[in-house]
Structure 1
Amino acid sequence: MSRTTILYKDIAPGAEEDASVSTTAVESFSNPSLLPSGVTPAPTITCELNHWGLDGTYMLVENEPVAFWSTEMSGDDCSFENPPVITIDFDQQYSSVGLTLIFDSASGDYCNSVNIKWYQGDTQKANTDFSPNAATFFCQQRVESYNKVVITLNSTNLPGRRAKLEQIVFGIFRYFGMSELRSASIVNEMSLIATELPISTMKWTLDSKDDVDFMFQLKQPVEVRNNDNLIGVYYIDGYSRSAATVYDIECYDALGVLDETPFSGGVYTNKSAKKLLSEIVDGDFEIEYDPAITDITLAGALPETSKREAIQQVLFAWGVCASTDGSERLYVFHLPSIAKEVGKNRTYTGVTVDTAAIVTKVVVTAHTYSQNTNGSIEINGIKYSDTKTEYSVSNPNITASDKQNVIEITDATLVSPSIGQAVAQRVYDYYLKRSTNKAKIVWAGEKLGDMLAMPNAWDGTNTGNVAKMEIRLSNTVAANVEAIGT
């Protein structure tokens, strides 16, 4: 049976990356800096009392990642003579509803007595004792604006055990099924030639079964899945509360986050497109490339703008497109040319087709930037003049009855004269695709950019690349699809 779930990462955004970890009484082969991101080792040989399983699955410690093992083993009463302490410092302040401690997930061992203190500078904001009863345990304590956490591991659940930690999550992962969602919808969009970079969005109404005072912090991630298929990852943009357990939440994708992040700009000569894209994103999100992608060199300028707008300029000049759906990364790719069949058994309504007007001509303006104290463009404190050159492609099949319909692109600042004509041809080829094929289907992992062949109402099929999907979440996910084709 199909099942849709939402994973809400109720965490402190940015805390994982900002965390600096120091410890006491730790084994030399441990790497405590891995605690915020976490490790997942196999069952490991430790020479602890009654711990070495003889089923062939236990591995030598030198072959497995270790974040934190204490040097001391607990005594017969399960306590430590010198309890190990883990201190986490941050450069910024964070808020969370508690910490999730992941101890030894392979064996199921855990520390059953833990003290956690939260600080803002020298001020102690909370001091709480916890009694974990599982290898993954949420230490619930709402604390706002802290920049230091001190964790003391007092005892283990079994005698003769080291304290072990695989990960510290600054919050908790919460899972919601459709029984807790009054409504949930997603709009995923992209431009097939990157003339723009639309932001995909998600809106959902939570009616929680648990009496939890949710914080819903800006940019917290929300993952949406149907069975094993990831529909998308979205980030909290805002919320409102209408009842004790009812919340209306709005989210956007990674491009929405990048739209709120500034980029200082620059002027470039023979710049690798991949390197430039990496510099713009600057580690905010991972970038995944289609293996067919070939790097090119770009010349031109990027004014001070948002990261999203800067990315759009790179993609358009490069001749590639990007999407965020179905992935935790920004995916850069060429449009596929092989169609996937959508059968009638997955189609609610047959394809309807909207046909756009004929494009009579495409004009693309290329730019050449030169330092000039009298220039009209200033980037990072330096003035430049902008020499513009137009490149065009005309439709040879225009008739006397066709209206003039000229597409002009004037603000592509990374389109230089060396690629101007090729860009104009690429844009013209795209506008030859005049049909927007619309259909409602049962979603089965389709993504933006996919070429779909969908049945129409007159016993044929229409083929095009997906530019938009409006998704209504239920255990059977329905999607209104718009695909651009000929």
Structure 2
Amino acid sequence: MKTEFFVDYNLYDTTAIEDGTPESTTNAAFADIDLLKKNPAAGVYATLEHNFFVLDGSREEFPDVSDNLAYFSTGQSGDTGEFSQWQSVTVQFTENHTSIGITLHFLEEYPLELKIEWYDLAGVKKAEATYYPDSLDYFCENQVEEYGKIVITFVETLPRHNVKLQYIEYGTTIRWGPDTITSGKLTNDTDPISDKIKTDKLTFDFVDKNEEFNIGNSSGLHKTFQKRQKMVPYEIVNGKQIPLGVFFLDSNSTTKNVSTLSAIDFKGMLSNTDFKEGRIYDGEKAGLIIDEIMNTAGISDYVVDDETYNTLLYGTLKIQTCQKALREVLFACGSTVNTAMRENLEIHKSNRMISEKIERSRKFSTTLKTDHYVSDINVKYTTWTLSDEISQITKGTYGVGLHTIQLSNPAENMTTNVGTIIRQRPYYVELQIDTDARSEVVISGQKYIGEELAVLSSIENIKSGEVRSTKTFTGTLLDYEAAQRVADSILDYYQLQQIIQTRHISRGEKAGDWTEVENTLVERGNFVACIESLSTDLVGGFIATAKYRGYYKLLSDYYFAGEIYAGEDVGII
């Protein structure tokens, strides 16, 4: 089996598009300059440009008003291709940006010459460069740090043509492949009961021949690295290209001329932002809460199955990371989250449908052990009641300015003795104080009173030779029925005592997949197990080390008319 590994890295400034405001005094009235930030699919129109199209009826008549053209120059070049008045686009920013260059996306024809000028936020020119495009998607390379404005001037086109610019990106995509990558590892983890959300991680080393990414290079490309930059790793197995998921830069380092990049998936990105909008939930759909969490984390590429989305939740979410907040939702729903070999984050109800088989022919080693016996699962939860009394919520000394005061316990209808409450949520207050002197502030309101409860799920008759053992879990979005359902489900999962570890040639299995693992003893039954963790060597033959939890399939032979039929039962060893 032949394998190769490469990574496509989006080396773009991650906030420039959103922050930028495009402007132009040379844009046609029917075009919308703001669309430069959106890259809409444009129509195929007939335009009055020299030798531009064949009269075969394949093009639409140009509309009076278009909703899919971003920039269409008012001026048309002359017989020499030059403009009597240069056409230009300006993008103004409110914050500093850094990029390796600018990628311009043109429609149908590209200009022959253009100039880009970079300015800082104060209007001082930082750099200028001239380019001669040779493709519709053209990268204007020039690493500029901390710029606040760019001006793109179009100098020359084909004779009697307009400039049609549809999209601007601040950077480009670069590829590290087998010729430069020396090592690569992908770690993929899941918790089938969603007691924890585990981050998938990608790490790879590449030879940096020109020291462009060496941190010691003061003008190196490493200065364009940003935390939310996206990368997509691929494994090529026998000529088939397999995308391994979407990852985001977490850290980089350099040793001699070898650079190391470490990246995290969407689940890891959730841990970088706090969710502060939690409140008391009384039968709210899980999907609506997930939408709030994802919006806070800045993640739009996610899907939620209908069963999870429509699950009703009761309880609260305190101030915590978005990852921990999502854990509470998934724990209460009995759902899991996966990102491996996907372009997005996928949330769905847990199931035990077998999707893969790990054959003996793919395995290098198999290790088996029996996990500790669990007979009881205790799940704790809290119910909340709003007090009728007005009481002190918090007290402190604050000076002039806007203060965000976070609360450990939820409250409603809060007031202050000093300043003005600009915004209040159950777990925080935004307080504006205008007086110069520091003042003692007392926030009063109605407290939510919590009552801690618990449910127990138990095996009535434990296995012979075993003693009772209890595991305890806590959820904050549970009522009695949900807590009991969760406890029963966890107890059922822990009855799968067979812990399996294999080292095998990967065929694209993922953590969370239920698999049939062939027994090393040919005459015995196989195992059915869930992959809980998977570590894959991406340059050493796509070799994976997997850990599973599952059960042993009992194999019974039934003889009839000279044939053998396999009957399946479930046994725990």
Whether the TM-score (by the shorter chain) exceeds 0.5 is yes
1:367–1:417 Cα contact (<8 Å) kept: no
Residue type of the alignment partner of 1:311: L
CA distance in 1, matches of 2:41, 2:543: 35
SS at match of 1:377: coil
1:67 corresponds to which residue? 70
What are the residue-to-residue correspondences of 1:195-234 with 2, within 5 Å?
Answer: 195-208=195-208, 212=212, 213-215=220-222, 216-227=225-236, 228-234=241-247
Residue type of the alignment partner of 1:406: T
Residue type of the alignment partner of 1:253: D
2:260 corresponds to which residue? 248
Query: Percent of counterpart pairs with the same letter?
Result: 24
1:467 corresponds to which residue? 532
SS at match of 1:429: helix
Stretch deviating more after TM superposition (120-129 or 267-276): 120-129
SS at match of 2:125: strand
Residue of 277, 285, 289 corresponding to 1:272: 285
CA deviations over 1:99-125 (Å, ceiling 9, x no partner) = 111223xx4534422223232243333
Q: Aligned pair in 2 of structure 1 residues 484, 374: CA closer, same or farther (>3 Å)?
A: farther
2:334–2:350 Cα contact (<8 Å) kept: no
Residue of 98, 101, 109 corresponding to 1:98: 101
2:360–2:520 Cα contact (<8 Å) kept: no
1:70–1:84 Cα contact (<8 Å) kept: yes
Q: Please state if 1:367 is matched with 2:399.
A: no
SS at match of 2:493: helix
SS at match of 1:444: coil
1:118–1:143 Cα contact (<8 Å) kept: no
Q: Aligned pair in 2 of structure 1 residues 455, 45: CA closer, same or farther (>3 Å)?
A: farther
Residue type of the alignment partner of 1:201: K
Residue type of the alignment partner of 1:163: V
Per the TM alignment, residue 223 of structure 1 is displaced from its structure 2 partner at its CA by 0.9
Per the TM alignment, residue 85 of structure 1 is displaced from its structure 2 partner at its CA by 2.2
CA distance in 1, matches of 2:67, 2:543: 43
CA distance in 1, matches of 2:96, 2:139: 21
1:377 corresponds to which residue? 409
CA distance in 1, matches of 2:210, 2:57: 41
Residue type of the alignment partner of 2:72: W
Stretch deviating more after TM superposition (388-397 or 127-136): 127-136
Q: Aligned pair in 2 of structure 1 residues 440, 57: CA closer, same or farther (>3 Å)?
A: farther
SS at match of 2:293: helix
Residue of 398, 401, 406 corresponding to 2:462: 398
Q: Aligned pair in 2 of structure 1 residues 51, 445: CA closer, same or farther (>3 Å)?
A: farther
2:339–2:345 Cα contact (<8 Å) kept: yes
CA deviations over 1:261-319 (Å, ceiling 9, x no partner) = 11113222222211111111116112212466451221211111111111111111122
2:365–2:502 Cα contact (<8 Å) kept: yes
Q: Aligned pair in 2 of structure 1 residues 475, 361: CA closer, same or farther (>3 Å)?
A: closer
TM-score when normalising by structure 2 = 0.77
CA distance in 1, matches of 2:46, 2:504: 51
CA distance in 2, matches of 1:473, 1:54: 52
1:114–1:155 Cα contact (<8 Å) kept: no
2:194 corresponds to which residue? 194
Per the TM alignment, residue 361 of structure 1 is displaced from its structure 2 partner at its CA by 0.1
CA distance in 2, matches of 1:339, 1:275: 30
Stretch deviating more after TM superposition (416-425 or 433-442): 433-442
1:112–1:133 Cα contact (<8 Å) kept: no
2:514 corresponds to which residue? 451
Per the TM alignment, residue 25 of structure 1 is displaced from its structure 2 partner at its CA by 2.1
Per the TM alignment, residue 197 of structure 1 is displaced from its structure 2 partner at its CA by 0.5
2:125 corresponds to which residue? 124
Residue type of the alignment partner of 1:181: I
CA distance in 2, matches of 1:342, 1:37: 43
1:184 corresponds to which residue? 184
CA distance in 1, matches of 2:99, 2:160: 33
Q: Please state if 1:339 is matched with 2:387.
A: no
CA deviations over 1:305-352 (Å, ceiling 9, x no partner) = 111111111111122110222223221012343323436487132543
2:534–2:544 Cα contact (<8 Å) kept: yes
1:23 corresponds to which residue? 24
Q: Aligned pair in 2 of structure 1 residues 242, 57: CA closer, same or farther (>3 Å)?
A: farther
CA distance in 1, matches of 2:15, 2:272: 15
Residue type of the alignment partner of 2:229: Q
2:144 corresponds to which residue? 143
What are the residue-to-residue correspondences of 1:313-352 with 2, within 5 Å?
Answer: 313-342=328-357, 344=359, 347-349=362-364, 351-352=366-367
Per the TM alignment, residue 249 of structure 1 is displaced from its structure 2 partner at its CA by 1.5
SS at match of 2:110: coil
Q: Aligned pair in 2 of structure 1 residues 67, 482: CA closer, same or farther (>3 Å)?
A: farther
CA RMSD of aligned residues (A): 2.7
- Stretches of structure 1 lacking an aligned partner (at least 5 in a row): none
- Structure number, greater radius of gyration: 2
SS at match of 1:390: strand
1:236 corresponds to which residue? 249
CA deviations over 1:218-247 (Å, ceiling 9, x no partner) = 22211112244220211111111223x521
CA distance in 2, matches of 1:470, 1:56: 56
